A and B are shown apart, each in its own frame.
Chain A
Amino acid sequence: MNKVRNNRAWWLVLPMLALVAFSAIVPLMTVVNYSVQDVFDANTRFFTGTEWFVKMLNDPALQAALARQFAFSLTILAIEVPLGVGIALLMPKRGIRASLVLILVTLPLLIPWNVVGSIWQIFTRGDIGLMGWSLRELGYPYNLTSSPVDAWVTIVIMDVWHWTPLVALLCYSGLQAIPEAYYQAARIDRASRWAVFRYIQLPKLTNVLVIGVLLRFMHSFMIYAEPFVLTGGGPGSSTTFLSQSLAIMATAQFDVGPSAAFSLIYFLIILLVCWVFYTAIMQMQKDRQSGGPHE
């Protein structure tokens, strides 16, 4: 679209800016403020500069949490992306079955995150949960609270259950946007199923997949409620990810300086990764506009 240059458009943007600034900038300033000070109480505070940042970056507990977080995010991406694509390809495109399957597939996304944790907490208990009980019956000594492996695997399965629908629905909408003529032409050209996937569907999916990977990475990096409810971060700290570490620090230890510094580091890591993705998306959109595929 050829946009008209008009600075009066700022009026339209102002209400939004005001609200988001209130929600974002003001608190962020507070965080920045705290991150460079040592606050003992309301009246006694010392400027500490980058001391907290250095301390945080060298904190072994935090480094461990960061490592766990990356491991977690990469694992779930590796599972959810192919699975999501596969499901999108299986979902019916038209008719009443399409609506039904769509609603069923979307279901996990609509559940409050703590309820997701609760569902899986119940589901995996050895005494009252179907999965926990079945595993025990089959001979496997499944124990969420004592085995880090069990805890990890369960959390990964829970996240896959919870968030794969997002990837699937993104891909589904990408597939829906492919005009019928492409499939018809492919039939006439006698293309195999694989060729149809590779040359027609996959290129279309690449666009939405980048969005999907961005969203999933972002969210998985911020995950809090589900693992908190399910394992509480345990056993020990084997499933304590970054958000929980930060929450513990902020609320339990009342140490605003270090937690503020940690917050900023956390935020910056996400920003960096997302900026990379964002540039990729914008680049792809630009490619598309300069003589790209037809809708």
Chain B
Amino acid sequence: MSESRHQQAAATEADQAQADEPTMTPQQAHALAAREAARRRRRARPKGRRIRSGLLLGAYLVFVLLPIYWLVNMSLQTNAEILGELTLWPQALTLDNYTKIFTDANWYMGYVNSMTYVLMNMAISMAVALPAAYAFSRYSFIGDKHLFFWLLTNMMAPPAVFLLPYFQLYYTVGLFDTHIAVALAHCLFNIPLAVWILEGFMSSVPKEIDETAFIDGYRFPRFFLTIFLPLIRSGIGVTLFFLFMFSWVELLLARTLTSTAAQPIASVMTRTSTASGIDWGTLAAAGVLTIVPGVVVVFFVRHHIAKGFALGRT
């Protein structure tokens, strides 16, 4: 629709203008008014409604945090305390479980391996998805719709289906038990996801920007890197978040394609039963440490998440 594009162009101009001088579009004025009104409303709104909303949300957050709290609780206890009487918080707080993980190569290599293939996957997926998404966004070509749909079907492929074939395939090409193997395997669902999200964001950038750049004499690579990518910054951030998330949490393929050299933390964790029973404390600590990277990543993209979760398609 020409209007929305003009509005967006106008909005971009308005954003530019805002940087130069303190002008405000009516939209911005309304948004500011709404923020203020919300502030005053928060004070003025019937207390009952606010309290009820707060309680409901609080109840849900307790539901979310309780099992995680329990994990943290256990990670700070010795096995003896865990297996003894149930305690709501550590009576004898200990960081031994964590030290064990940080000092035992079997444990921390698990994290290193997982991180390695996740980062590799993020890089590969991004590098390949960006041009593809641009193509889907700007051009129509033979078979484009079918290609796009086929791409999405790969996200729906149950990893279990590919267990045996992958095992054989990577064994055959000599990539079994390497980081690159897992990184490539995760491309199965991560690349389509990246393309889907990026295409949504790219489509909201008006084509006029491309055309203007080409008229101004930009070659495509320079235009893409210096003009286009900064415009979809938030889309890239969100995509990286999703790539990280889905690769970091995946268990089946990562475990199948590795044995010792590139063993992910998930594998290490599922092998913690020793002769004296399961090492609960260490297991819990390992679990807690797997959550940390995710929290860090989501913290960095928190402003863009809201948009990206709808895959740029609101």
Binding site for B on A (CB under 8 A): 1-10, 12-13, 15-17, 19-20, 22-24, 26-28, 30-31, 34, 86-87, 90-91, 93-94, 99, 101-115, 118-120, 122-123, 127-131, 133, 161, 165-166, 169-170, 172-174, 176-177, 179-181, 183-184, 204, 207-208, 211, 218, 221-222, 224-225, 229, 242-244, 246-247, 250-251, 256, 259-260, 263-264, 266-267, 270-271, 274, 278, 285, 289, 291, 294-295
Contacts and interface: CB of A to CB of B under 8 A. Distances in A.
Nearest to A126: B86
B35 A225 contact: no
Contact of B83 (A2, A127, A225): A127
B147 A7 contact: no
B310 A174 contact: yes
B139 A4 contact: yes
Given A115-B269, A247-B160, A5 B245 contact: no
Contacts of B284: 122
A271 B311 contact: no
Given A122-B74, A250-B163, A267 B158 contact: yes
Contacts of A259: 164
Q: Residue among B88, B129, B302, B314 with the most chain A CB within 10 A? A: B314
A102 B165 CA distance: 39
A222 B88 CA distance: 35
18 contacts: A3-B137, A6-B140, A13-B131, A16-B128, A17-B147, A19-B187, A20-B187, A23-B184, A28-B162, A30-B168, A90-B57, A110-B245, A114-B266, A130-B66, A173-B310, A229-B270, A251-B164, A260-B164
Contact of B310 (A130, A170, A243, A295): A170
A31 B167 CA distance: 12
Nearest to A18: B128
A153 B217 CA distance: 63
B76 interface: no
B236 interface: no
Given A122-B71, A161-B64, A31 B138 contact: no
Interface of B: 1, 3-4, 7, 27, 30-31, 33-35, 38, 53, 56-57, 60-61, 63-68, 70-71, 74, 82-83, 86, 88, 124, 127-129, 131-132, 134-142, 144, 147, 149, 151-166, 168-169, 184-185, 187-188, 191-192, 195, 203, 207, 245, 248-252, 265-266, 269-270, 280, 283-284, 287, 290-291, 293-295, 297-299, 302-303, 305-311, 313-314
Nearest to A4: B139
B269 A10 contact: no
B194 to A, nearest CB: 9
B266 A222 contact: no
Contact of A161 (B67, B137, B305): B67
Nearest to B303: A99
Contacts of B305: 102, 106, 169, 173
A114 B161 contact: no
B34 A15 contact: no
B51 to A, nearest CB: 12
Contacts of B74: 122, 128
Contacts of B149: 278
B295 A16 contact: no
